Amino acid sequence: MRSRNLPRQWVKCSTLMCASILAVPVNAKLLDDSSARLELRNYYFNRDYREGTAPPREEWAQGFLLHLDSGFTEGRIGVGADAIGMLGIKLDSAPGRSGTGLLKVARNGRAEDDYWKLALAGKLKASKTQFKFGALVPPTLPTLKPNDGRLFPQVFEGGLLTSNEIDDLELTAGRLSRVMQRNATEYTPLTLSPLNRRFQGQGATAEHFDMAGIDYRFHKQWLARVHVAQLEDIYRQQVFTLVGKSPWGPGTFSGDLRLSLMNDYGDAKGGKIDNRALQGLLGYAYKGHSLGLTYQRMLGDTGYANILGADANLINLSILGDFANAKERSWALRYGYDFASLGLPGLSLNSRYISGSHAEITGTRTIGKSWELDNELRYVVQQGPLKNLSVRLRSALYRSNYAKNFIRDTDDTRLMFNYSWNIK
């Protein structure tokens, strides 16, 4: 975020945070436990709409992310700070092809040559409990999945508490107040996603997003989760999850079962929200091969709701669709292969086919049907000066009988080079 545009509250928060840290004598632990990491993301994006007159979205950009994480000062309550500096540079774009989410777009529709932003956060630690405040990139939670699918992650402003005082039990609680989207440099209000015009109050904004959860690892590889959240005066959500894996025969069995309950509450600024999402995944892995079958069903009068810019944390969330319209049913077949079994460590392939049906689409009497095919080939350099360099080629095809007025039939291709260097 450019310093001349820093909101007063952010400047005040950052100033107080820095002052509190500087007021504490620097000690060895604060510095010795600190880390610095430079991450490079080179991203080519092409999205071709297969119907209508909309031109393809095609851009190429380079991103630099500098992660600085301090340790904690000594004492009963340790104090520290984290920072992420982000710089995005345009490598290729043109009027009419912008809007991929890689680059910041000016009012004239042209992608800017470069943009940068700074995310600062303070943190406190007592025993095994940590509180982080300021600019946050929260971990994926059952009620919130921040989007990190372009050059930079989605950044929220707020506070997040995590506690691991009891073995195998983690408590999470937090409040978020604003969001900076992936290709933006300013914070904006938390907004209800308008995807497929699912709700009458699309575009409704909220002052806060509150969340809390309990994760209990009752077995070495199995986790039970209960999480709740509410987007103020828009919706309330409860999510119950059971996920894990176990040896079974010569291979490994995996499972992921989820139930999401969601309804409007308070002033219901987003209109009626009534959704129950049943989701399940069963998988098996053997000698480099992995096979998975998923099922997802939307019950209730409306589709699934989430915050604009964030991903819907659903089993069948895919590259282009979420298969979460009212009454929609979807299943998916997943296949993955690790070529290490053939003597090619670092090379992997993942494919997924998803089919959706019975969807009730707002504004049309059409009973929605859709499908999507996703493929990703990935290679991670295993040794040498470029060790851990990741190369990913991803493609997605999406087709539906209602896409003309909503998510259009789309071909999507992406090529990504990621490299991370630990400076300290």
- How many Å apart are CA 43 and CA 127, to the nearest integer? 40
- How many Å apart are CA 284 and CA 321, to the nearest integer? 25
- pLDDT score at 32: 79
- How many Å apart are CA 43 and CA 45, to the nearest integer? 6
Contact 91, 98 (CB under 8 A): no
The token duo for 412 is: 């999507």
- Bridge partner residues of 285 (DSSP): 252, 290
Q: What is the pLDDT of residues 14-53, one digit of tens each?
A: 444 444 444 445 566 778 789 999 999 999 999 998 876 7
- How many Å apart are CA 50 and CA 398, to the nearest integer? 10
- pLDDT score at 195: 82
The pTM score is 0.90
Q: Three-state DSSP class for 195?
A: helix
- How many Å apart are CA 393 and CA 56, to the nearest integer? 18
List the chain residues with pLDDT less than 70: 1-28, 52, 403-407
Per-residue b or e along 228-254, where b marks 16 or more CB atoms closer than 10 Å to that residue's CB: bbbbbbbbbbbbebebbeeeeeeeeeb
- How many Å apart are CA 412 and CA 274, to the nearest integer? 32
Contacts of 226 (CB under 8 A, 6+ apart): 213, 214, 238, 239, 240, 241
Contact 293, 282 (CB under 8 A): yes
Domain ranges of the chain: 29-45+138-422
Contact 296, 312 (CB under 8 A): no
Instruction: Domain 29-45+138-422: give its CATH code.
Output: 2.40.160.10
Cα angle for residues 4, 309, 272 (degrees, 5° grid) = 125
Q: What is the pLDDT of residues 329-360, one digit of tens each?
A: 999 999 999 999 999 999 999 999 999 999 99
- pLDDT score at 51: 74
Q: Which amino acid, one-letter code, is at 390? A: S
On average, the pLDDT of the chain sits at 91
- How many Å apart are CA 12 and CA 103, to the nearest integer? 28
The token duo for 132 is: 């982080």
Contacts of 311 (CB under 8 A, 6+ apart): 145, 146, 147, 149, 317, 322
Q: Which of 417, 411, 416, 415 is nearest to 57 (CA)?
A: 411
